[in-house]
């Protein structure tokens, strides 16, 4: 199975490069559908692409509401706005949830790799009290983790497989719609079209 | 009918003030539900609150996809991240679509006011070719508008009536959940609770 590089991926990598002086350039907004049928939207951090693919990695806590939501409806749309280059990427696709109970050993390896890519300090957030529950105590948790220890049970990897990317450049006022199709041999192919902004 | 000021509104106004040196601080991401049942997410511009209420104003073009989506499902969630103060507001509510055919004259007046609040130059965007359709011509449109003329038919005002606001401050690591209830006399009341981030 060959890999055809997604044509929007280089545009996104260029945007990341030209906005890399801004810490928040790796933040984007992830929209899902809530269990009540209403939209849900929050900022998350881009954790890179999975190897050479166009699949986007996100880390999250299994206890957050988005996990429940994605189990109910696996589709999501990223809105990623680059504040310095004035570029917007709307990336629509399906999300694969990979927690510690995943039966696929290859996926568990990707999860482990994503865990070790995090700084030991940032891994501690997964030991915090249950997100979204009432805050009970001001006392700092006494938490530490062996830097060589694998992912804790709360650590969850999300992999978004993009199906459509709507790119808008507000400086040039150009907009491109990238759409994927699946070829007969299961290869993802991309077409693009210039559309009105 | 009295008005109880929403407790999150002052927090939001403070965030706007402390990030006002950044042009993009008035941009937020608006998630809706697409006609295909998938989430949809895009950046839009904050056009202020409606008078003294906590209702959020957004301008858009009647020809954009979000109008069709909101007619199908009027609920939306704003995710507004302030890049300098590290504050996030997730504002969930119902959107009222006010286009030129609205039968309510009071709402038409709000729409007109929002139109005149825009710069004459920025009003021209509503004369552009149909958004999202294939781009046909590179030639600049010969467009002009009488600055005293009222809103064009493509100009649409959205009013989001917030029902829940999830506030997160990444500098202090504090998170507050604001929830509204409707009192017996139809007054919106807000409660807040500190929850785990």
Residue B46 contacts A, CB cutoff 8 Å: no
CB atoms within 10 A of CB A75: 20
Residue A124 contacts B, CB cutoff 8 Å: no
Q: Dihedral of CA A90/A91/A94/A99: which sign?
A: negative
**From B26, which residue of chain A is nearest by alpha-carbon distance?**
A83
Residue B37 contacts A, CB cutoff 8 Å: yes
Distance CA A150, CA A140 (A): 23
Instruction: Enumerate domains of chain A plus CATH numbers.
Output: 7-131+145-195 (2.30.110.10)
Give the confidence band of A1 by pLDDT, cuts at 50, 70, 90.
very low
Distance CA B113, CA B117 (A): 6
Residue A196 contacts B, CB cutoff 8 Å: yes
Give the confidence band of B44 by pLDDT, cuts at 50, 70, 90.
very high
Using the predicted structure, report yes or no on whether residue B3 has a pLDDT greater than 70. Answer: no
Residues on chain B touching A24 (C-beta within 8 angstroms): 81, 83
Q: What is the pLDDT of residue B183?
A: 85
- H or E stretch including A67? helix A65-72
The structure tokens listed for A140 are 């700092």
Question: How close, in Å, is residue B4 to chain A by CA atoms?
Answer: 25
- Per the CB < 8 A criterion, the answer to whether B40 and B33 are in contact is yes
Distance CA A149, CA A55 (A): 26
Suggest the residue from B79, B94, B193 to mutate for an interface test with chain A (most A CBs closer than 10 A).
B79
Tell me the pLDDT tens digit for each residue of B45-70. 999 999 999 999 999 999 999 999 99
Q: Which of B122, B121, B118, B115 is nearest to B155 (CA)?
A: B115
**From B74, which residue of chain A is nearest by alpha-carbon distance?**
A38
Q: Which residues between 83 and 102 in chain A have a beta carbon less than 8 angstroms from any beta carbon of chain B?
A: 83, 88, 90, 92
Strands (E), B70-117: 75-82, 87-98
Tell me the pLDDT tens digit for each residue of B95-116. 999 999 999 999 999 999 999 9
The mean pLDDT value for A128-136 works out to: 95
The structure tokens listed for B159 are 């009013």
Distance CA B42, CA A89 (A): 9
CB atoms within 10 A of CB A168: 20
Distance CA B126, CA B81 (A): 27
Q: Which of A29, A37, A130 minimises the CB distance to B29?
A: A29
């Amino acid at each position: 199975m060959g890999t055809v590089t997604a044509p929007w991926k280089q545009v996104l990598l260029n945007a990341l490069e030209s906005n890399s002086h801004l810490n928040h350039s790796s933040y984007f907004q992830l929209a899902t559908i809530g269990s009540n049928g209403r939209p849900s939207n929050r900022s998350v951090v881009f954790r890179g692409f999975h190897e050479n693919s166009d699949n986007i990695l996100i880390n999250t806590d299994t206890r957050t509401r988005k996990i429940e939501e994605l189990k109910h409806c696996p589709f999501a749309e990223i809105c990623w706005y680059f504040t310095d280059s004035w570029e917007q990427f709307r990336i629509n696709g399906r999300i694969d949830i990979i927690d510690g109970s995943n039966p696929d050993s290859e996926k568990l390896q990707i999860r482990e790799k994503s865990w070790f890519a995090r700084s030991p300090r940032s891994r501690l957030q997964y030991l915090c009290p249950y997100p979204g529950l009432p805050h009970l105590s001001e006392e700092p948790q006494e938490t530490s983790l062996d830097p060589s220890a694998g992912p804790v049970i709360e650590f969850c990897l999300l992999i978004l497989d993009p199906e459509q990317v709507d790119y808008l450049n507000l400086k040039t006022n150009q907009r491109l719609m990238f759409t994927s199709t699946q070829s007969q041999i299961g290869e993802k192919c991309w077409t693009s079209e210039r559309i009105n902004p």
